[in-house]
A and B are shown apart, each in its own frame.
Chain A
Amino acid sequence: MTDKQKKDGLSRRSVLKGAAATAGAAIGSGAITGFPTIWAQNIKDVTLRQFGTGVSNLNDVAQKVKEDLGFTLEMTALDSDSVTQRAATQPDSFDIADIEYWICKKVWPTGNLQAMDVSRIKNYDKIVGIFKDGKLTPESEIAQGTAPHTVGFIPEPGATTFADEQTNWMTLIPTIYNADTLGIRPDLIGRPIESWSELLNPEFKGKASILDISSIGIMDMAMVCEAMGEIQYGDKGNMTKEEIDKTIGIFTEAKKNGQFRAFWKTFDESVNLMASGEVVIQSMWSPAITAVKSRGIDCVYQPLKEGYRSWGGGIGLSKSLSGLELDAAYEYINWYLSGWVGGYLMRQGYYSAVPETSKEFMSENEWGYWFEGKEATDVITSPTGDKLAEAGDKRDGGSFYDRMGSVACWNAVMDENQYMVRKWNEFIAA
């Protein structure tokens, strides 16, 4: 409905403006894209509707888009499950989907998204290797799970299967990613934490939490079970039914013994659980740690010896985008990769897909602290102005290459996903 109204409004205005300016310049909407001057005026009328998880759907970004590009970006933040649901079932309700790569694996076959023309992406060459051939550095090993490059390309426009190597057609333009681990309250734990297995340590009975998003939660579970030495997985990112049974079995038992205080589903919930002291160890996302810290509460994103569980997000285009709006979307993507957003996100603890452009939007101190893992030379503040670290502090886990180089697995969708989902449901209900 809104889409249709918007389009009608657009062409009506374009006709008026066309008549006022040069006669015959705007003959129907087809002509709009051909005339940069009219295009530049009309782009102000465009509204792109973006939805995604809370991590990157920031109002500051929408404001900056309005400033830099002139068009309106409407943001809707949802939890991962709702994002998947919306992308899969309501293709007309959005223009831009800000989703994770594992969601892409699930949603792409529905045909609700359209592939992007790599030749229109200016900074494509500077995008980190993880999203292109899967390798951070030429020597890196590719981690288990749904690694972004495996679902990042399709052989040709319209294809519903993924390509094995880089092509000119990209499913998602990578925007942000990070290496996740457990968050802890060092002040309430009082001893070093080194392994994922600590999540099920009876010492933290009633004070642990895990996230209730099956595709991510199962990977955290797998990291824990493997660290405990209970299960040896063939591939954590693609478990067999027996492995799923065993993994969930271990956690169901822990749940029945009262190990968990709560499960969380949204970013805010995880922050509140940690900040209120209900939970002292839990699966967590980096900016949630930042949010807890900015309340003046000690919280550490603890690097663990088994490595990180990593995830990556990207923006995809709705299949219904075309014409001027599609151009605006490409404009937005190029702007996204040009550095400002990257700098904003990196100062929250995420990584940008094109770190070198983000560098220009960060101070040397910030770049050193967040990316290079160096000691801060001055106070580090969040984009919203809260103090996150003092001079002399170092980022948990070190540099970009230290952190992204020790990724043990990616968030994943498995072949046995349906079975896993049912088992997960049972785990929550048990």
Chain B
Amino acid sequence: MANQPNVTFGALGAGRAGPGMSDAMSGWLLSAPLMLVLAFFLILPIIMIVIVSFWGATEFSIYPAFQFDNYEFLLSSPVTYQVFLATIKYAIITWVCTLLIGFTIAYFLAFHIRTQTWQIILFLLCTIPFWTSNIIRMISWIPFLGRNGLANSALVGMGIVDQPVEWLLYSDFSVILAFVHLYTLFMVVPIFNTMMRIDRSLIEAAYDNGATGLQTLTNVIIPLTKPGIMIGSIFVVTLVMGDFITVRFMSGSQKANVGRLISNDIALLQYPSACATAVVLLVTVLLVIAVLLRFVDIRKEL
């Protein structure tokens, strides 16, 4: 008697291939759609890029080969190292600036704005610039910062400088300014998100125990916000390292980062050499992310 429903159940189950399946199996099946998408649109293209990076190129075509010419030229040129250094420099400076600004904004939103309505309103306010394309937001800096632009006329008009300031535009300064402007929100969002989840009683407890504001910040809030900071950092660093258009426009084509090296190669139909550069860049970015992930276990913290 006790067995019978079991048998029926088992047979039924086998028919639907449901409960009879192991957890591992259903896990694989559930993740299969995403895996397939990633395999087709991420893994395959990357494999392609790696393969083509060993190919050769003529003026107007590429031909299959297995040669190290592209890497040899890339790794033996001092320009490559300068450009990688410049890329990392942009990434670090932008990261520091966006982190400071982003953290401050998120902190203000999360802990100084009392009502949720206002939090939402102010948060949406932060996203308004994103309603226009980022190219437009970037290019609008150009007339502002130019030799005869608003910034310089204001500075000269107020008597702060005699001559227009040249380094405002087409310089590292303008490039980083644009980066910070474009990417700070990517820092604000995840940090704000993790801050909102901090249990307020922890802050009260810190206060009750006599911690100063600064101590609360460094001992309670920052450690608890680490996952948000890390996610924001990954966004900003990868975006900056992969960018080419901001560097091209804001430096007036005078400065280069790895992205521009790749885009120049593509423009000149040198796909294999572009692929080789892309592979080296990919490895660099992965290393940076690996290092970042050493600091915090995102899976655990989320």
Judging by beta carbons under 8 Å apart, are A425 and B147 in contact?
no
Judging by beta carbons under 8 Å apart, are A278 and B147 in contact?
yes
Distance of A413 Cα from B83 Cα, bound (Å): 27
How far does the Cβ of B202 sit from chain A's closest Cβ, in whole Å?
50
Distance of A255 Cα from B255 Cα, bound (Å): 11
**Interface-lining segment among B20-28, B32-40, B176-184, B261-269:** B261-269
Task: Say yes or no for A418: interface residue by CB 8 A criterion.
Answer: yes
How far does the Cβ of B249 sit from chain A's closest Cβ, in whole Å?
9
Q: Which chain A residues in 244-266 approach chain B with CB under 8 Å?
A: 255, 260-265
Task: Say yes or no for A421: interface residue by CB 8 A criterion.
Answer: yes
How far does the Cβ of A123 sit from chain B's closest Cβ, in whole Å?
31
Distance of A89 Cα from B253 Cα, bound (Å): 25
Judging by beta carbons under 8 Å apart, are B170 and A106 in contact?
no
Residues of chain B within 8 A (CB-CB) of A260 are 252, 254
Q: Which chain A residues in 206-221 approach chain B with CB under 8 Å?
A: 206, 209, 212, 214
**Interface-lining segment among A7-15, A58-66, A78-86:** A78-86
B265's contact among A84, A417, A425, by CB below 8 Å, is which? A425
Judging by beta carbons under 8 Å apart, are B59 and A417 in contact?
yes
Task: Say yes or no for B143: interface residue by CB 8 A criterion.
Answer: yes
Main secondary structure of the interface of A (DSSP, over half): helix
Q: Output the nearest chain B residue to A417 by Cβ-Cβ distance.
A: B59
With most chain A CB atoms within 10 A of its CB, the pick from B248, B267, B273 is B267
Judging by beta carbons under 8 Å apart, are B252 and A263 in contact?
yes
B268's contact among A81, A206, A262, by CB below 8 Å, is which? A81
* Contact size range, A: 35 or more
Q: Output the nearest chain B residue to A89 by Cβ-Cβ distance.
A: B269
Main secondary structure of the interface of B (DSSP, over half): loop
Mark each residue of chain A from 68 to 88: 1 if its CB lies under 8 Å from any CB of chain B, else 0. 000000000000011011001
Task: Say yes or no for A1: interface residue by CB 8 A criterion.
Answer: no
Distance of A255 Cα from B79 Cα, bound (Å): 14
Residues of chain B within 8 A (CB-CB) of A386 are none
Residues of chain B within 8 A (CB-CB) of A261 are 170, 252
Q: Output the nearest chain A residue to B78 by Cβ-Cβ distance.
A: A426
Task: Say yes or no for B148: interface residue by CB 8 A criterion.
Answer: yes
Residues of chain A within 8 A (CB-CB) of B269 are 84-85, 88-89, 106
Q: Which chain A residues in 382-430 approach chain B with CB under 8 Å?
A: 413, 417-418, 421-422, 424-426, 428-430
With most chain A CB atoms within 10 A of its CB, the pick from B148, B248, B254 is B254
How far does the Cβ of A280 sit from chain B's closest Cβ, in whole Å?
10
Residues of chain B within 8 A (CB-CB) of A212 are 253
Residues of chain A within 8 A (CB-CB) of B273 are 422
- Given A81-B268, A84-B269, residue A109 in contact with residue B253 (CB < 8 A): no
With most chain B CB atoms within 10 A of its CB, the pick from A209, A273, A425 is A425
Q: Output the nearest chain B residue to A84 by Cβ-Cβ distance.
A: B269
Distance of A126 Cα from B64 Cα, bound (Å): 46
Q: Which chain A residues in 72-113 approach chain B with CB under 8 Å?
A: 81-82, 84-85, 88-89, 106-107, 109-110
Distance of A209 Cα from B254 Cα, bound (Å): 10
Judging by beta carbons under 8 Å apart, are A426 and B59 in contact?
no
B60's contact among A88, A264, A422, by CB below 8 Å, is which? A88
Judging by beta carbons under 8 Å apart, are B59 and A278 in contact?
no
Distance of A425 Cα from B274 Cα, bound (Å): 12
Task: Say yes or no for B297: interface residue by CB 8 A criterion.
Answer: no
How far does the Cβ of A54 sit from chain B's closest Cβ, in whole Å?
16
Q: Which chain A residues in 225-280 approach chain B with CB under 8 Å?
A: 255, 260-265, 272-273, 276-278
By a beta-carbon cutoff of 8 Å, the part of chain A in contact with chain B is 81-82, 84-85, 88-89, 106-107, 109-110, 206, 209, 212, 214, 255, 260-265, 272-273, 276-278, 413, 417-418, 421-422, 424-426, 428-430
Q: Show 6 residue pairs from A and B whose CB-CB distance is below 8 angstroms, ordered by the A residue.
A: A81-B268, A84-B269, A110-B61, A262-B253, A424-B264, A430-B79
Beyond A425-B79, A428-B264: 4 further Cβ-contacts under 8 Å? A263-B253, A273-B252, A277-B148, A425-B261
- List 8 A-B pairs, minimum CB-CB distance, nearest first: A262-B252, A263-B253, A429-B256, A81-B267, A426-B79, A421-B268, A429-B79, A212-B253
